[in-house]
Amino acid sequence: MGIDCSRFAAGRHDKVRLGKWPTKIKPLYGSTKEYEHHLARHKDELDSLQRTLYADNRHALLVIFQGMDASGKDGAIRHVMSGVNPQGVQVFSFKHPSATELEHDFLWREVACLPERGRIGIFNRSYYEEVLVVRVHSEILRAEGIPGSRGDGKRVWEQRYESISSFERHLHRNGTRIVKFFLHLSKGEQKRRFLARIDEPDKNWKFSLDDVRERRDWRQYMRAYEACLSATTHQHAPWYIVPADDKQNARLIVSQVLIDTLHSLKLRYPTVDAARRRELLAIRRQLLM
């Protein structure tokens, strides 16, 4: 099954209006068994592509997940990447910055976590929190103590969008391909998932009162996401707005985008020249003695 994922890519010249983007679409699978078959095939292909990525040693892949609480970020990472060699994937989850991190620029802590050539790096939340949660909660910006944080707020966000876009352009020029997913969840589906976290004992640990407090700021978050997606989607670092009310659909879309991105790199195993081939044949003869 090949999924045309271009329809989920945010346009580079159009202002994003999330109300026009669906949170749920027609299922891409006919049954649970069919879904499992498609996902298993995607995972096998991703595993093969990652091994070629490692051998090719020219590129890295940075995958960024953003979304409201309960949008399925953890599940997408777990289900989609579970078939890939753990040595080839690095996953980082970014929470509230520490005191040390707050003493540096807002990109500092993620730089140390970037994937090296041949590997896939996954950011579960990222530096984009600095133009999302920080924008909704302005007191965080004031606490960061950066120049201009008490002045023109609009200028602060524009400067951060510029910094992010320049940073991602720099990574692209140096071989890191970037794919960004916004898991687009409806407020009603979030409520259903929150209730499940309360009603099902094995999900109680996932629920926090802070989740409900953030839910009260839904509209502000949607506006922040719209501004962010509009300003930072580029050909070299595209945003995909993934309908997330159906977790299975979302996982199939995410995995297909990753497959398409890796294929676009024209990965190949290193070729062996004649001298190296003769050396290998000589070693082979010795092993057979």
Q: How does residue 1 score in pLDDT terms, banded at 50, 70 and 90?
A: low
Contact between 261 and 238 (Cβ < 8 Å): no
Q: How does residue 216 score in pLDDT terms, banded at 50, 70 and 90?
A: very high
Q: How does residue 11 score in pLDDT terms, banded at 50, 70 and 90?
A: confident
- Percentage of the residues of the chain whose pLDDT score is greater than 70: 97
The CATH number that applies at residue 60 is: 3.40.50.300
Q: How does residue 213 score in pLDDT terms, banded at 50, 70 and 90?
A: confident
- Residue 177 belongs to domain spanning: 5-288
Of the ranges 171-175, 192-196, 208-212, which one carries the lowest mean pLDDT score?
Answer: 208-212
Overall number of domains in the chain: 1
What pLDDT, in 10s, does the model give residues 131-141?
999 999 988 88
The whole-number pLDDT of residue 64 equals 98
Q: How does residue 209 score in pLDDT terms, banded at 50, 70 and 90?
A: confident
What pLDDT, in 10s, does the model give residues 226-273?
999 999 999 999 999 999 999 999 999 999 999 999 999 999 998 888
222 pLDDT more than 60: yes
What mean pLDDT is reported for the chain?
93
Transcribe the chain into DSSP letters.
----GGGGBPPSSS---GGGS-S--S-SSSSHHHHHHHHHHHHHHHHHHHHHHHHH-S-EEEEEEEESTTSSHHHHHHHHHTTS-GGGEEEEE--SPPHHHHTS-TTHHHHTTPPPTT-EEEEES-GGGGGTHHHH-HHHHHHHT-TTTTS-HHHHHHHHHHHHHHHHHHHHHTTEEEEEEEEE--HHHHHHHHHHHHHSGGGGGG--HHHHHHHTTHHHHHHHHHHHHHHH-BTTB-EEEEE-SSHHHHHHHHHHHHHHHHHHTT--PPP--HHHHHHHHHHHHHHH-
The whole-number pLDDT of residue 151 equals 52
The whole-number pLDDT of residue 152 equals 58
Q: What's the token pair of residue 203?
A: 């999900």
149 pLDDT more than 60: no
150 pLDDT more than 70: no
Average pLDDT over residues 32-58: 97
- Percentage of the residues of the chain whose pLDDT score is greater than 90: 78
What pLDDT, in 10s, does the model give residues 64-103?
999 999 999 999 999 999 999 999 999 999 988 888 988 8
